[in-house]
Amino acid sequence: MELSDLQVFVVVARTGGITRAAAELHTVQSSISARMAGLERELGAILLRRHARGVALTAAGEQLFGYAQRITSLADEARRAVRDDRPRGPLRIGAMETTAGIRLPPVLESYTAAWPDVDLSVLTAPTESLVALVKDHALDGALVAGPVDDVDLHEEQVFTEEMVVITALRHRDLDDALRGPNGPRLLVFRAGCSYRRRLEAIVRARGVEPKVLDYGTVEGILGCVAAGLGVTMLPRALVEHSGLRHRLRLHRTAPADATVTTVFVRRRDAHVTMALKEFHRHLHAAADHSALEPSPVALQL
pLDDT by residue (tens digit) across 36-79?
999 999 999 999 999 988 899 999 999 999 999 989 988 887 77
Residues β-bridged to residue 231: 186
Q: Supply the pTM of this predicted model.
A: 0.66
Closest CA to 193 of 157, 235, 152, 247: 235
**pLDDT tens across 77-89, in order?**
777 667 666 888 8
Measured between alpha carbons, how far is residue 208 from residues 21, 29, 212 in Å? 50, 57, 12
Average pLDDT, integer, range 265-291: 86
- Residue 290's pLDDT band (cuts 50, 70, 90): low
How far apart are the two ends of the chain, measured CA to CA in Å?
Answer: 61
Eight-state DSSP code of residue 245:
G
232, 188 contact by CB (below 8 A): yes
Residue type, 203: V
Please say if the pLDDT value at position 299 is more than 70: no
What per-residue confidence (pLDDT) applies to 293? 42
E strand map for 47-192: 48-51, 54-57, 89-95, 118-124, 141-145, 153-168, 185-189
Output the pLDDT for position 297.
41
Q: Where are the alpha helices (DSSP H) in 174-214?
A: 174-178, 194-204
Q: What is the mean pLDDT of residues 244-267?
A: 89
- Residue 150, pLDDT score: 93
Q: Does the structure show a pLDDT above 80 at 100?
A: yes
Residue range 178-205, pLDDT digits in tens:
776 666 788 888 766 788 888 888 888 8
